[in-house]
Chains A and B, each alone.
Chain A
Amino acid sequence: MSEYRIQGATGEWEVVIGLEVHAQVTSQAKLFSGAATAFGAEPNTQVSLVDAAMPGMLPVPNRECIRQAVRTGMAINANVNKWSRFDRKNYFYADLPQGYQISQLYHPLVGEGEIEINLDEKNPDAETKRIGVERIHVEQDAGKLMHDQHPTRSYVDLNRSGVALMEIVSKPDMRSPAEAGAYLSKLRTILRYVGSCDGNMDQGSMRADVNVSVRKPGHEFGTRTETKNVNSVRFVMAVVEYEASRQVDVLEAGGKIVQETRLYDPDKNETRSMRSKEDAHDYRYFPDPDLLPLELDDAFLEECRQSLPELPDVKRHRYEEQLGLSAYNAATLTADADTARWFEALLAEAARIQKKSEGEVAKASANWLLSELYGALNRLGKSLEDSPVGPEEGAELLALVADGTISGTIAKQVFEIMLETGDRAPKIVDEKGLKQTSDTGAIEAAVAKVLADNGDKVEQYKSGKEALFGFFVGQTMKAMQGKANPQVVNDLVRKALA
C-alpha cells in the first residue's frame, strides 16, 4: 500500500494510527434495562428506574445486544469468547447516574479479528491490507448534558443512558489518513451488513477515538494522543493528518509528545488538548458484582453464525465471478448493504419475469441501476431508500427491453415518465404506443425512403465509406420514431445496401 510519509526538517516520518470505534447496537431496548432506544425522543422519556440508577435497581443483560456484538465479531473473523465478564468503570459525572459505566475491561466478549481494507475499492488491482482488531466489548452509553437550556444551569437527558455500545478496538496497524478512512468505512459497511449498528455517524450511532503517534520509519512507536468522539470518516482523516503534522512539528522543535486526550474542532480543523495523563481518572475497574459472567452456549453461537448475511467481500467476489460484473460495478454495488439489497431484489425480479438466470440478467440490471437509476436519483436529490421507482418496477422496465418490446432509447423515455407519474412501465408503453415494431414491411418502406432521400451518401457508402452505415440506421430509426426494432433495422438496411 502507498507509503504515506511526512516530510520533516529532519527527514521522513511515519504515522501510526489505531481507532477505537463506539458503535451503538441496533436494538429495541438498552443493554441492561427494558427502556427504549429511539433517536430524537423528548429528553428523559426513555429512562427506566435502572437507567436513572434509583436505589436498589439492578442490571439484567439484554440478550439481543449480546447477540449483535457476537455476530459482529463473527463478521470480522474474530474469536468470540464463550466466557466473558462485565466490569464497572467508576467515575463521577452528571451524565452517569450509577457513578460507574458497566463495560468489559478484563474479559471482553470478542477477541482478535481483522478487517481487510482496499484503498481504492473501485480498482480491482489496488493492493489490500489487513487491519487487526484487538477486541470488541459491549458497554453502556452515558446520558447527555445540555448546557444551552438555562443561563446558569445544566440539564441532564438520560435517554442515551444505558444504551448498548460496541467498542471495536483496532490494532495500531494503520499508516495513513487514507487507511484510517478506509478502515472506518469498511467497518461501517460490515456493521450495516450485519445489521448490528445503523452506522449513522451524524446521529452519534458511530464515533471514533483516534489514536495517533509518529515515528521515524523503522523506529519504536512514539507517544500517542487520543482524539475523542470524531464523528465522520472525513474528520477522522483530517484528525490523523493534523495530529501527525502537529506531532512532527513538536518533536522537530525539540519538544515531547504528551500522552493526552484531545478534541477535534471541525470548524478550525485542529485538535486541542482536553486533559493530560496526569489528570486521567483512576477508574477503579472491578467485576460488576450485580452480574454473573456471560457464558455463551454452542446453540447460541450457532444461531448467531447462521443468521449472518453474506458479507461485503464475499458478495463482491461473487458478483464478479458468478454474475460476471465488472470489478468496478461489483465494488460499487456491494459498498453499502442497502444498495446490495436493492440490487439483489432487482436481479431476482428481473430473472423471474424474464425466466432467465440471475447471471443472464445481471449486467443489464447493474448497468441500469448504476447509470439510469443513480443518475435520476442524483438529479432528484434522493437516496436509494426513497427512490420513487422500486426494484419490481425497475425489473419490469428491464424485461421490456430484454424481450424487444421497447428499445433502450425508448426505455429511457419510459423511465422518465415512471419517475414523473409513478406509473409502471408496461402501462406507459401501452398507453403511449411506444411498443417497438418488427413489422418488416413498414421498416422496409422507411429504409427505402431514407436511401432514396440520400442518394449521395449511398454512393459514398458503396465506394467504401462504410461508417455511413450507422447514419442510415439512425435515419431509419428516426423515421420510425424510435419504435423500430434496432436489430431488424440493421438487417434491412444491410440488405437494402447490398
Chain B
Amino acid sequence: MTDLTDLTVADIRDGFRAGDFSAREVAEAFNANVAGAKALNAFIVETPEKALEAADAADKAKAAGEPLKPLSGVPIGMKDLFCTEGVQTTAASHMLEGFTPTYESTVSKKLWDAGAGMLGKLNLDQFAMGSSNETSYFGNVISPWRRGDGDTAALAPGGSSGGSSSAIAARLCPAATGTDTGGSIRQPAAFTGISGIKPTYGRCSRWGIVAFASSLDQAGPMARTVRDNAILLETMAGFDPKDSTSLDLAVPQWEAGLSSNLKGKTVGIPKEYRPDGLNAEISAMWDRGIDWLKDAGAEVVEVSLPHTRYALPTYYIIAPAEASSNLARYDGVRYGQRDLPDGAGLQDMYAATRALGFGPEVKRRIMIGTYVLSAGFYDAYYTQAQKVRALIARDFEQAFEKCDLLLTPTAPSASFALGEKQADPLAMYLNDVFTVPASLAGLPAMAVPGGLDGQGLPLGLQIIGRALDEQTVLNAGLAIEERAGFTARPGKWW
C-alpha cells in the first residue's frame, strides 16, 4: 500500500471518497510524521487531536451516507499567523507566546468548515518578517533538503512561510496555509520544491491574520501540486464583510477550470528580471521554463517592467511603515507579554515589554517604519514610495497589454545555509527581488518547481498574472508542472 503521506490533497480527497482508506488513517499517518520530525522544528504547536477530530467527523459522515465537504478527510498545517480559536497563536513571537484567541480567522474557519483538519500551527519568521525562517522566537525551521555529497549543513526553508514549506516537502502535511507580503509563500515554495500561490490582493480575507503590512498581506495555499493549490484556494478565497479590502466577487471554480493547454496565451519575459550576474543555473532553468510554456502552446514575447529596480527599496519603505503602526498594539496592556519592572510607569512598561517581546528583525523593521513616517522624512520616503508603487503597478498594466502572464524565476538563488545571510540584512532582503514587484501591484503570482541545481537543491519558477486572473496563473503552473516532471524529494535524515 502506498504511503498515505505521499498523497496529494486531491488523492486524499478522492481516495477517501472512494473508500480506499479512512480519514482517520490519513490523519494518523500525518500525525506520526509530524511527531517524528521534531528536528525540522516546523511546528510551534502540534494538534494531532484536532486532525483526528476532523477525520472522525469525516469518517462518520461517510458511514452515515451524509454529503461530504470539499476537504473532508484532508488534514493540513496552519501557519501560526492565523488566529485559531482555543489554540495558541504566536506569529512566532515571544510577544504573543501563550496568547490563545477567542476567535477564528476567516480563512482558517473556511478551511475547517470545508472539512479540513488541523495538524498543528506552523512555525514562521517572527510576525512574518524574514526570508529564511531564522527570526522565529521558537527557533529556526530546518529545510528537509540537504546539499548533495553528504553535506549536513542545515538549510533555510525560505520565509516567512518556512514551517509550511518545510512541512509539506517533508510530507508532514499534504498542504498548508501561507501568507505572502513580499514573497513569503513563493520563495519558501521555491526553496523546498513545492508550489504555492499568492492570489490577487483582496481575494482572501485578512480578518484574523496577525497583520504585518496591511496593503500587501495576502493569504494563499502551499502544496505539492498546482491542482492542490487550486482546491485549497477555492476554499480560502471569498468576500468577507469584516475586511474592508476584501473583494466582493464570486470565487471561480479554479480546479474545474484547470487546463495546461496555453494556446492563444502570450507569455511575457520581463527583461529587467535578467540582470547581469544572474545565477547561471537560475537563468538556464528560466530558459527551460520558457520552452515548456511554448510547448504548451503559448507565444513568448519580451516585455519591459522599467521600474523593477525600485521595487525592493519601495517595498522596504512601505512594508515596515505599515508594520511599525500595525505592531503598536503589542504594548503589554491587554494581552501577550508584559514586562513591568519595579517602579515602572506606562512608558517604561511599553519599552520593557516591546524590548522583551520583539526579536531583532522585528525591531529593525519597526525602527525603519517609524523613521520613514516621521515628520520631515515622510514625503521623501513614504510619499515617494507610494508614487513608485503606482509606477510599478503601471508597468505591469502596460506589460499585460502585450501578454497574458509573466514568467520569471522565483528567487535569485537556491536555498542557502542557515546563518549564511544573517549578518547582512540587505543580502537577506535581496532574496525577495523577484517576488516583491507582484506584491506591490497586488497581482496573483505562483511559484512552481522548475528543477534542481547542481547541488541537488530545488529552484522555482514564478508566474505572475493579471489581477483576478488566477486561472491563467494556475494553468501555466500546471503546464510547467507537467513538463518539468519534478519528482525529486528530500531524503529522510530527520
- Using a CB–CB cutoff of 8 Å, the interface residues on chain A facing chain B are 49, 52-61, 88, 90, 92-94, 97-100, 154, 156, 282, 284-286, 288-292
Contact = CB atoms under 8 A, between A and B. Distances in A.
B101 interface: yes
Interface of B: 82-83, 89, 91, 96, 99, 101-103, 105, 206-211, 213-215, 241-245, 321-322, 324-325, 327-329, 331, 333-335, 346-347, 350, 370, 373-375, 378, 382
B214 A289 contact: yes
Contact of B329 (A53, A60, A61, A284): A53
A99 B334 CA distance: 12
Nearest to A91: B328
A56 B373 CA distance: 22
A443 B6 CA distance: 115
A57 B334 CA distance: 14
B89 A55 contact: yes
A57 B89 CA distance: 14
A218 to B, nearest CB: 33
Nearest to B245: A292
* B interface majority secondary structure: loop
A297 B309 CA distance: 39
Contacts of B374: 282, 284
B93 to A, nearest CB: 10
A199 B178 CA distance: 49
Contacts of B333: 94, 97, 156
A53 B99 CA distance: 14
A98 B373 CA distance: 17
Contacts of A292: 244-245
B23 to A, nearest CB: 29
B83 A56 contact: yes
A92 B331 contact: yes
Q: Identify which of A52, A53, A284 gathers the most chain B CB atoms within 10 Å of its CB.
A: A284
Nearest to B210: A55
17 contacts: A49-B102, A53-B329, A55-B83, A56-B83, A57-B208, A58-B243, A90-B325, A92-B347, A93-B346, A97-B329, A98-B329, A99-B325, A282-B374, A284-B324, A284-B325, A284-B378, A291-B245
A55 B241 contact: no
B331 A99 contact: yes
Contacts of A99: 325, 327-329, 331
Given A55-B83, A56-B211, A286 B325 contact: yes
Given A90-B328, A92-B328, A97-B329, A56 B214 contact: no
A286 B209 contact: no
A53 B327 CA distance: 10
A97 B244 contact: no
Contacts of A59: 244
A496 B192 CA distance: 120
Given A49-B102, A58-B243, A97-B329, 12 more contacts: A55-B89, A56-B210, A59-B244, A97-B333, A99-B327, A99-B328, A100-B328, A284-B374, A284-B375, A284-B378, A286-B382, A289-B215
A88 B328 CA distance: 12
A286 B101 contact: no
